[in-house]
Structure 1
Amino acid sequence: MIDFFGYICISLGLFFWFWGTFPLLGKRSLLFKLHSLSVADTLGSMSIIIGLLLKIPSEWPLLILALISLAIWNTVLGYVLAYCSSSEGNYE
């Protein structure tokens, strides 16, 4: 039963990965595209890691470290992108 939930989490993660790429084809702004891609990628990656945690619980320290690193990295990257886009026209 745990393996079944692991496969569901991994499948959900793959769904989020592909779902995040569809806004790239739209005609919205670049920042909207990056935001939707990064959110979907973060959710998908975290779901895949949780699925792996359910399937191979013996590797829990490494997988928990991966979850924490992923959450911190994507949050910091989002702030950096927002800062760079807000100061685009300021060349003082």
Structure 2
Amino acid sequence: MINWISYFCIILGIVFWFWGTFPLLGKRSLLFKLHSLSVSDTLGSMSIIFGLLLKIPSQWSLLVLALISLAIWNTVLGYVLAYCSSSGGANER
């Protein structure tokens, strides 16, 4: 049963990765594209890591560290991209 849940999480993560790629082809703004890509990439990567955590629980410390690092890194990167793309960013120096 755990194997099935693990495979489901990994497949769900791959689906999130591809789902975030499709808005890049649309005609929306760059910020919308970046936001949808970063959110789906984060959810997909976290789902894959959680699936691996279920599959190989002996490596729980490294996988939990990867989950925490992924959540922090993608959140900070989103704020940096939003700041750099705003009109109050590097243009006012």
Q: TM-score range by the shorter chain?
A: over 0.9
**Correspondence 1:33 to 2:29:** no
Give 1:91 shift. 3.0
Give 1:85 shift. 1.0
Query: 1:90/1:56 Cα in 2 relative to 1: closer, same or farther (>3 Å)?
Result: same
Amino acid aligned to 1:51: G
Unaligned runs of 5+ in 1: none
| Counterparts of residues 28-67 of structure 1 (less than 5 Å) | 28-67=28-67
In structure 1, C-alpha distance between the alignment counterparts of 2:53 and 2:90, rounded to whole Å: 45
In structure 2, C-alpha distance between the alignment counterparts of 1:71 and 1:88, rounded to whole Å: 24
In structure 1, C-alpha distance between the alignment counterparts of 2:28 and 2:90, rounded to whole Å: 20
CA contact (8 A) 2:84 2:90 kept: no
Bigger shift: 80-89 or 51-60? 80-89
Q: Number of paired residues?
A: 92
What's the RMSD between the two structures over aligned residues?
1.1
In structure 2, C-alpha distance between the alignment counterparts of 1:90 and 1:17, rounded to whole Å: 33
SS at 2:92's partner residue? coil
- 2:77 equivalent in structure 1: 77
Q: How does the TM-score come out when normalised to structure 2?
A: 0.95
- 2:21 equivalent in structure 1: 21
Deviations 1:28-79 (A, max 9, x none): 0001000000000000000000000000000000000000000000000011
Which structure 1 residue ranges, 4+ long, deviate > 6 Å from structure 2? none
In structure 2, C-alpha distance between the alignment counterparts of 1:12 and 1:77, rounded to whole Å: 23
In structure 2, C-alpha distance between the alignment counterparts of 1:88 and 1:20, rounded to whole Å: 26
In structure 1, C-alpha distance between the alignment counterparts of 2:47 and 2:15, rounded to whole Å: 10
